[in-house]
Chains A and B, each alone.
Chain A
Amino acid sequence: MSKPAPTLHDKLNQLRERFIEQLPSRLAQTAELWQQSRTTSEEQSRLAPELHRFFHSLKGTGRSLGFERLALLADQAEEALTSSPTRADIDTFISQLLLQMGHEQQHLRSHHGQQQALAAVNSFELSSQVEPLRNKRQRLIYLCDDEPEQVDQLIHHLRCFGHEVVQFIDTDTFFNAVLTRRPDAVIMDVQFPQGQTAGTETLTSLNKLTGQPLPAIVLSAHSDFHSRLSAVRAGCGGYFTKPVKPLDLMLAVDELTAPAAEEPLKVLVVDDEPEAAAYHALLLKEGGMSVHQVHHPADALNAMERFSPDLVLVDVYMPVCSGEELASIIRQQPEHLGLPIIYLSSETDSQKQISAMSAGVEAFLTKPVQPEELVSAVRLRAERLRLLRSLMTRDSMTGLYNHSTTTELINKNLAQAHRDNSQHAMAMIDIDHFKQVNDTHGHLAGDQVIITLARLLKSRLRLSDIIGRYGGEEFVVLLKGINAEKAATLIDSLREDFALVDFHAGEVPFRCTFSAGISSFPAQPSTESLRLSADQALYRAKHHGRNQVVISTELTDDR
């Protein structure tokens, strides 16, 4: 949907001014009503609805117009009026709130105060008409620092990664903005004119108010104990002192906001009794897992191939093929040697249970199972396999898929693509002059370049895309459902942003570029031909001066 037009912006600002101008008389009238309601219980019950309506209306309208602090005060008053039993100090409490609202009105009445309160709202109202599609990994980051010139470089780097950065120079504006639109992460200074730890105290207040801790990193000119303690109390996930290397802080923000487990655990249930299978599947689904059922042991291998479970839950007594026999069949497949298998049985003889363990079964659950026991037994073992698989299939430095896993995943996707008649593109990406980076700036700097490019690919590409590290400084990406031209445009925008990143080796800054070759499926029908074609295009990109993206063309490749 489109955002409000500038004319609406002007209209809302007029309404805001009228709201602020008429507020003193409304507050005075309410204070009078309040005093009157305290005289007798009859007056109290007669005037209660009107008082409640005033505070409720003030809350809703104030909040809609962007006056979040005023709305909070009104909310407190409304809550005090409606709570039961009535708080003992309600007389002074309401009077104080009315006074605070008056002070807030005076603050808003000043041009500066209004600008402060509305800065957050205005920045949203005046931004572009069409909200761009944010992919799942792009994040909204609020940066609050009263010395904006010191954070320009940091903002530059965050935006290279595609994150949306909103900058605030005071805690009040920041406070309103968080309540208006919650960010994915916060970068906060400690010291502000309001106090030596006003920044972190604002975070603490917000955490208490919203009940949800904000992922936050402190960026401060001070590294004393008091400042650090206030950061810990605000629940901050990192502490950086100025001057900061922007890339280090950016990577920390990326780490802080990295999405948690992207996929639910997958469990295959094999039980010849459909009702029992459905019951156990339901328990596991309610535990947050993805569950597939088969009712005939012969279907288990096909289901495992298609579903790729993290664990198999097997009933022991099935007439055609017992659980034990099925477990042995599963273990015959090399790729399933490590797959956890759990038995379900009514067998209570512990000696027989121990005997079953020798067939490579992880656990033995006795029916009827306790729901909590089933869920926790399955989760523990499935998560262990998931972690182990991740260590075996991913590159340890970048977290991307390693060479063999990338190839396997692309093979699978192309097999599926042949059936679906879909179209994909492959990009081979290689960091330019990487050996020179290592020789000149050292291996630590080289590693940081690799990690940064990996993070850039992860944050800017879709979850469905396959991203692998193929060798030292070489990456391969399968971009699904896209043609070569669009893939080239996308990779080229990443190339431009990557070239803007400032790296450091000690105090020596340097920049890096990458080159890329693009090939497309089904013009290239196999993983090998796709990779070869992309590699040849990459070679031409290197040969033509590097720092560019080249699309493979069959005619040229035949030369």
Chain B
Amino acid sequence: MHILVVDDDPLAGEMTAALLESQGHNTLLASDAMEAVEQLDAHSDIKLIVSDMHMPLVSGLALLEMLREQDNHLPFILLTGDTPDTTLRQTPGLNACLRKDAELAWNLDAAVKQTLALNG
């Protein structure tokens, strides 16, 4: 079972992956939406996607929308550098939207557990 981490900033992606791995998950990395789709095609055991919000060409939200249109309903968690507002948090098909800050480790852990419990 894998969690797919999507981030155009390699260092940020590695940090997110490190947090998830410390919480007992295996991770795969993608640096943009195209790579994410390739990873999803190549690995049938991906159970959750954690994606950065601001990426060039295809943003995290656009990736989510694209996947839903393709009938992919894997749970999706979004990471943003700003405080997520209500509108963003309530995006259809989005399981959680978290702020990138020093609390990310704990917030991500809780969000992943809750998301997998609801979608397991």
Contacts and interface: CB of A to CB of B under 8 A. Distances in A.
B56 A60 contact: no
B84 to A, nearest CB: 12
Given A4-B22, A15-B11, A65-B15, A60 B100 contact: yes
A18 B105 contact: no
Interface string B36-72: 0000000000000000101110000000000000000
A451 to B, nearest CB: 37
Contacts of B9: 57, 61
Interface in A134-182: 180-181
Interface in A7-31: 7-8, 11-12, 15, 18-19, 22
A57 B18 contact: no
B118 interface: no
Contacts of A49: 56
Contact of B100 (A7, A12, A18, A63): A63
Contacts of B14: 15
Interface in B96-120: 99-106, 109-110, 113
Interface string B6-46: 00110110110011011000000000000000000000000
A4 B100 contact: no
A61 B100 contact: yes
A12 B15 contact: yes
Nearest to B18: A11
Contacts of A4: 19, 22, 105
Nearest to A50: B56
B5 interface: no
Contacts of B103: 180-181
Contacts of A11: 18, 22
B93 interface: no
A64 B12 contact: yes
Contacts of B100: 59-61, 63-64
Contacts of B19: 4, 8
Contact of B18 (A15, A19, A121, A181): A15
Contact of B79 (A1, A8, A59, A60): A60
Contacts of A121: 102
A56 B54 contact: yes
A488 B100 CA distance: 45
Contact residues on B (Cβ < 8 Å of other chain), bracket:
20 to 34
Interface in A56-74: 56-57, 59-61, 63-66, 68
Contacts of B52: 57, 60
A53 interface: yes
Contacts of A63: 81, 100-102
Given A59-B81, A60-B100, A61-B100, A5 B22 contact: yes
Contacts of A59: 81, 100
Contacts of A3: 105-106
A60 B110 CA distance: 19
Contacts of B11: 15, 18-19, 22, 61
Nearest to A66: B102
Nearest to A78: B81
Nearest to B100: A60
A14 to B, nearest CB: 9
B56 A64 contact: no
Contacts of A7: 22
A269 to B, nearest CB: 33
Given A56-B54, A60-B100, A12 B81 contact: no
Contacts of B105: 3-4, 8
A60 B102 contact: no
A1 B106 contact: yes
B22 A64 contact: no
Q: Which 10 pairs between the two chains have the least Cβ-Cβ distance?
A: A60-B81, A60-B100, A8-B22, A180-B102, A61-B12, A11-B18, A59-B81, A63-B101, A64-B100, A56-B81
Interface of A: 1, 3-5, 7-8, 11-12, 15, 18-19, 22, 49-50, 52-53, 56-57, 59-61, 63-66, 68, 121, 124, 180-181
Given A53-B55, A63-B102, 14 more contacts: A3-B106, A7-B22, A8-B21, A8-B105, A15-B18, A56-B82, A57-B8, A57-B81, A59-B100, A60-B80, A60-B81, A61-B11, A68-B102, A124-B102
14 contacts: A1-B106, A1-B109, A1-B110, A3-B106, A4-B22, A8-B21, A15-B11, A15-B18, A18-B11, A50-B56, A60-B100, A61-B11, A63-B100, A65-B15
